Amino acid sequence: MAWSDIEYYLERNLATTLRMNGTAAPRVDYVVTPHDIALHVELGSHEQPPRSDFPMVRVDQISSEGRRMARLRIADAALRRDFHDLLCAVADRIVRQDRSLAEAFGETVQAWTALLRRHQELDTQRRIGLIGELAVLNALGLDPATGWSRAVAAWVGPQAEEHDFALTEFDIEVKSTASEARRHVVHGTAQLTPKPHRPLWLVSVQLTRGGAGGRTLGECAAAVRRRIGQHSPSQLAAYDARLAAAGWDSDNPDEERWTLRSEPLALPVDERLPRIDAALLNCIPAGLRERIDKLQYRIDVTHLTAASAPPSVLSAVSLP
């Protein structure tokens, strides 16, 4: 049932009843009124309408043409377009898969809930990105010159700052990849642009699936948390808040195990590093430059030579 067909009736304040399964039983009708849409499903002699645990989705019992029917409708007219998809999914399970109304409604709600939860979980790239940041955070915390309190305070990436870590002496941008080449995606011009009079270091972390010998994101997060709890418990709340801001949820299981594919590579962000910065964009005429939005590009630092004398803490990056 195409939404454009339903819109035709709604826009003209017309009413109609569309049979979803011809003359088959139970009767399944998609009902359009001038201001509403609903699904009417004929109930068996001892069948009751399913219960809805969602305030916006209302299920009640009505009588139509002498039939006892369940009616599924939406409480907010602004949600009709999305509700249309749910009604079609329920009807499809009844008509094509021979499910009862309760089964069809329950299965549809369960499938949509699982889909929404998957959207909340971190995808692979974001997980390995967070593992890379935790590896650097761990190195900073274990460094006597930095310590755990300063390390947690310096972790500003989850707070939507330009760089992942802001220390007194320099900033750090962490890029992680699971590919064999050190190819990293850069978002915008600020991510690889040093702040005035502050060196910026890029730490390239290569991961690979490690099997039984690897570490999950959850294990890395827990290991860092234990160390913070031992040495700087006052920073636990800040650490947990940054993890949450990064999208981490301890209630979502994470079974993938990772290990370092190679030693992390520390590179100074200078004229030798491939990047697009504001100075480069300024070479474009203003009228055209203003039309560039949400810049994203990928760099390859595979064969670049590591800095001869990087900050000592960046030579000790490993998985927590």
**Predicted confidence band at 116 (pLDDT cuts at 50, 70, 90)?**
low
3-state secondary structure of 84: helix
Domain range summary for the chain, segments of one domain joined by +? 3-120, 124-315
Q: What is the pTM of this model?
A: 0.63
Q: Identify whether the C-beta of residue 217 lies closer than 8 Å to the C-beta of residue 127.
A: yes
> What is d(CA 167, CA 165) in angstroms, rounded to the nearest whole number?
6
Q: Identify whether the C-beta of residue 174 lies closer than 8 Å to the C-beta of residue 319.
A: no
Mean predicted confidence (pLDDT) in 238-267: 88
β-pair partners for 3? none
Chain mean pLDDT for the chain: 90
Mean predicted confidence (pLDDT) in 290-301: 87
Residues 126-172: tens digit of each pLDDT: 899 999 999 999 999 999 999 999 999 999 998 878 899 999 999 99
3-state secondary structure of 33: strand
CA 170, 176, 181, 185 dihedral sign is negative
Q: Output helix, strand, coil percentages for the chain, rounded to the nearest 5.
A: 40, 20, 40
Buried b (16+ CB within 10 A) or exposed e, 264-282: bbbbbbeeeeebbeeeeee
Under 8 Å CB-to-CB from 102, ≥6 apart: which residues? 47, 50
